[in-house]
Amino acid sequence: MTRKFGWFLAGGLLVALLLAGVVSNFASSSPDGLDATAREGCTFDANGEITGGTCIAQREQAHQMADSPLADYGIRGIHNSALSTGLAGVAGVLITFGIGAGGFWLVRRREQKAA
């Protein structure tokens, strides 16, 4: 790996970590397109619970990973929501980077053996 590419990679990782750790706290809490579409046709109370109507969201269920440490865009056990969201974003970036780097390492190793 060239020195320039290493600095480029490190800079990109730093920017991704800053965005995930800081900017993620400013994301909109409004439902995204899929959630908004699933909620069409129902009425909701102040807590977001369905009170009437007919919509796809009435059939939603908790997913299998709902009790995982990184569920719901935060880290379970950290009660400061900004810190929890930021750390979950940083963890996500590091996990994704690690998986990607490992994949590239395996491909490169395989190519070197073939040569």
Which DSSP helix (H) or strand (E) runs through 4? helix 3-21
Three-class SS of residue 66? coil
User: Does position 62 have pLDDT exceeding 70, yes or no?
Assistant: yes
Count up the domains in the chain and report the number.
1
- Residue 35 in this model has a pLDDT that exceeds 70: yes
Residue 13: closest CA among 115, 84, 93, 109:
93
Global pTM value: 0.71
Q: What is the mean pLDDT of residues 87-114?
A: 91
Domain range for 105: 3-114
Query: In one letter, which amino acid is 35?
Result: D
User: Helix, strand, or coil here: 51?
Assistant: strand
